[in-house]
Every structure is written in structure tokens, then in C-alpha cells.
Structure 1
Amino acid sequence: MNDEAIRMRSVSRRHGTGEGAVTALDQVSLSFPRGTFTAVMGPSGSGKSTLLQCAAGLDRPTSGSVTLCGTELTTLSETKLTLLRRRRVGFVFQAFNLLPSLTAEQNVTLPLRLGGHRPSTARVREVLRQVGLGERARHRPAELSGGQQQRVALARALITRPDVLFGDEPTGALDSRTGREVLALLRGMVDGEGQTIVMVTHDPVAASYADRVLFLVDGRVSGELAGAGAGTIAARMATWEAVPC
């Protein structure tokens, strides 16, 4: 368990009841080792986002257990779950979700300030330097490129030194060159700092930056690839329907 950042055991998530119920996850058991980069892929409706939300404590599974760094999430109260997410989990989404009237450093600190915490200026500048924006702390979103705005969002996710960083299509709104720059930054965080990253993506190039790629089909894990290139991943994507669950 000491080497596992996340452990999911027999996790199912169903929406609705009766004949209209939809099973988004079906008895999923997975481990995400510390200091690794995992990409999650699958066709539309396969359960990718639900997997991410359950692993991060954003959604509660209907059954099964989710453990994050030794803490069982499914038994926590909403208050304790919120505190755990705030302190130990970071999120980066396709939308940057920056407030246009705030500077980069103000956007980075906003979630903490809303939670009643005031990070040191040194820590804010440290994470901005970490994402390559040390000279842009006083710039507002309109003065930054799309890639730079996503870097601000990444710095905001890293400000608390999270145990796990979750990304939901983090490069989906970026052009290919800028997306590769952000992905290289994520890869460097894993290799250089031991960060644990779990990323949902539909892009085989993005997935190729990960240590392993998990494939979901109809809410079940249908297989995985380790250290695969974009071509191999794309070929696997083409055979989703033929892969046995």
C-alpha cells in the first residue's frame, strides 16, 4: 500500500434506478503507483470521467472502495472529503477557469484564500517558476497565451503540493505545439519530482507521454499498454470494440 497513490477495489457507479439505470463503472479494480503518469482512454460513454471523479473523491461510487494515499474515501463525511481534496489532490481541466480580473499569482492563490489559507509569496513564485511563468506573475489571463493560461491552472493545482494531480483533457483546448509543451511539463514533474498524475485524454499523442495507458470500454477495464508510442496507442484505439473485457 505504501507504493500506491490510489487503490480502487470493485468500484461500481450507477446512475438512476430501475430499468433506466446506467452503469458508468462496473466492478473496476485498479492501482495507481506513486510517482507514475497514467493516461485513461476509451470511447465516449466508457466511464473515463466517472473513473477520474471516483478516484479523486469528486463522486462517490455506488459500491466498492477507493483509497487515496492510505485514506479510505468512501467512508469520509462530505466535510472531511472536501478537506482531503483541498489538501492532497490537484485538478487541471480542459477549461482554464481563470478569473480575468486577477493576475496569475492571484488566480493561483484564489482557491486557498477561499478556504481561509494564505500561502506565502515565496511558494506562489516557486510554483509559477516550476511551470515556466516566473516572469508572468503580475500578468492577467488576457495578457497570456492559451498555453500560459493552462500553466497558471497547473500552478494553481500544485500550490498545495498534492499527492495526486488529476487532469481531465488538460491539453484539449490547446494547439498541438502548446499541448506538447504542457505534456512535457507534466512528464518532467513525474520524472524530476515524483509527482503522481492521472489524466483522461482522447489523444494518442498525449497518452504517449504517460508510463501506462488504461483502456475503458462500457465501464470496464479492457486492457492497458506500458511505454507505448502514439502509433501503438492509436492502433489499440481502433480495436476497442474487439478487445475482450
Structure 2
Amino acid sequence: MDDAVRLESLTKTYGSGDSAVSALRETSLSFPRGSFTAIMGPSGSGKSTLLQCAAGLDRPTSGRVFIDGQDTSGLNETRLTELRRASTGFIFQSFNLLPSLTAEQNVALPMRLAGRRPPRGAVRQALAQVGLEKKAGSRPSQLSGGQQQRVAIARALVARPAVLFADEPTGALDLSTGRELLVTLRALAGPDGGTPSGPGTDGRVTTTIVMVTHDPNVAAYADRVLFLADGGLVGELLQPTAEAVAARMTHLAVTS
């Protein structure tokens, strides 16, 4: 199967000797192109560490990570940074927008900082994808929390990444606004919702979404939910409902 991200026997250990703590233990996972996966687990289960390693933001102690078909284990920091910029996007719980810049300028900023000019029309296309084409000239203070988070999504999409990582993307939003954001993410996943490959073309880059959340209602928007406990994969739920996810999490809380 064609995977956007693949993890092979991933282990991440912090510290050494008697004080060593294993955040991940021999974990193997794959995220097919166009899929929308939610990752859940009790506090300390390793989900944030998994996300950081899968996105190339942290290196595992052992095992291999493949991003968009590229084995990251042999890459130096420069090449790994280039791969992240070319193939991944990241959405954080905090919006991380610069208040003095417009939405359009915030979206373009990471590419400009990397010394790259956004493709013609790409910034407006990214804003249009999240329904904010009419807010391109607005500053963060003129936008609602949900709109600011959608600007952050557009910023992650402008380089047309193969995979979009999201760490508790609805955590700072109210229920209604969070739901709007999840509908946006749901629409992006898969071949029909991929990011445009260029202005005036029909080609699209299939967008894969990997999201960490603690909320069963949020996880229910995904195609599948992966459950972690004690640094390892302990379950999977396809076509999840909020009730089924909550039941599985309650079981984990009792047994862990």
C-alpha cells in the first residue's frame, strides 16, 4: 500500500540507565495516502512523541521513519529539514500567527523565511481551501479563534504537503468553532480534498492527516483511530463513532 508515512519498530527513550523512560516501544504503523487518522491514549501513552517522530521533528532512538517514501534515518539535519518543508505541514493547538501580519502574509511567511517564493496564487488558493479567501487582508485581531486556526491550516497547506500533522488542533476552540475546523480537515483528506498542485490546474496532491486528540467527538471525524498505551499500539477502530471511541478509552483507563 502507498503510505504517506511509515514507522518501523520505532523506539524512543529519554534518559539513560536506571532513569531511562521509554516513550515508544518497537511501534510499527503506517498512514496510507489520503487517510485521516486520529491518535488517542491516556496521558503518557506516547502519542505526542509518536507525532513528533513521525513528522521528523524528533529522531527515534531506534527504528525507521519513512516520510513520503523517503527513509529519514540516514538524513542529516539539513536534509531532514528540507524534507519536512517539502512534504509535511504541522498544525499546533496555538495558532502561532504574527499579529502585525495579514492572513495572507502569515500564510506565506514560512516559505519566505525558508528563502522560497510561494507559487503564484498558492497563498490565495490555500486560504480559499479553508474558506477564508475574503479574509486575506485581515489581521489576526480581526479574526475569530476558528478563523485564526484556519489561517494556520492554510499556512501548513501552502507548500502542498503530502501529510498534515495536527496536535490537538481544536484544543483552544469552543465546541461550535472546533466542529467547523474538523469539517474543514475532513474535507481536505483524500484524493478529492487534496491540495491543488498549481493555479489553473486540476492536479491535486493527496492530503493525509495524522491528528492527536483526547476528545472522542473529535476523533470520530477520522477514518480510523489508533490507541496507544505505555508506548505501544494497543488497538485500532475503523469508521469510528464518538461512543465507540469513548468506550475504548474508558477500557484503556481501567486496564492501564
TM-score with structure 2 length normalisation? 0.93
Q: Deviations over 1:85-130 (max 9, x none)?
A: 0111000010000000000000001111100011145111111111
Whether 2:148 is the aligned partner of 1:139: answer no
Alignment partners' CA distance in 1, 2:151 and 2:6:
29
AA in 2 matched with 1:219: G
Alignment partners' CA distance in 1, 2:96 and 2:47:
21
AA in 2 matched with 1:240: L
Q: Aligned runs of 1:45-124 on 2, under 5 Å?
A: 45-124=44-123
SS at match of 1:27: strand
Question: Contact 2:42–2:253 at 8 Å: present in 1 too?
Answer: no
Gaps of 5+ in 1: none
Question: Contact 1:14–1:23 at 8 Å: present in 2 too?
Answer: yes
Alignment partners' CA distance in 2, 1:86 and 1:66:
16
AA in 1 matched with 2:158: I
Whether 2:151 is the aligned partner of 1:152: answer yes
Q: Which residue of 2 aligns with 1:238?
A: 250
Q: Which residue of 1 aligns with 2:209?
A: 197
Q: Which residue of 1 aligns with 2:41?
A: 42
Alignment partners' CA distance in 1, 2:175 and 2:183:
12
Runs ≥4 residues deviating over 4 A: 241-244
Alignment partners' CA distance in 2, 1:224 and 1:38:
10
AA in 2 matched with 1:105: E
SS at match of 1:57: coil
- The percentage of aligned residue pairs carrying the same residue is 62
Q: Which residue of 1 aligns with 2:196?
A: none
Alignment partners' CA distance in 1, 2:254 and 2:5:
29
Alignment partners' CA distance in 1, 2:127 and 2:109:
14
Question: Contact 1:54–1:61 at 8 Å: present in 2 too?
Answer: yes
Alignment partners' CA distance in 2, 1:190 and 1:121:
24
Gaps of 5+ in 2: 194-205
AA in 1 matched with 2:244: T
How many residues were matched structurally?
Answer: 243
Q: Deviations over 1:24-67 (max 9, x none)?
A: 00000111111000000001111001000111111100011111
Alignment partners' CA distance in 1, 2:240 and 2:33:
20
How far has the Cα of 1:71 moved from its partner? 0.4
Q: Which residue of 1 aligns with 2:230?
A: 218
Alignment partners' CA distance in 1, 2:7 and 2:182:
26
Question: Contact 1:16–1:22 at 8 Å: present in 2 too?
Answer: yes
TM-score with structure 1 length normalisation? 0.97
Question: Contact 1:222–1:243 at 8 Å: present in 2 too?
Answer: no
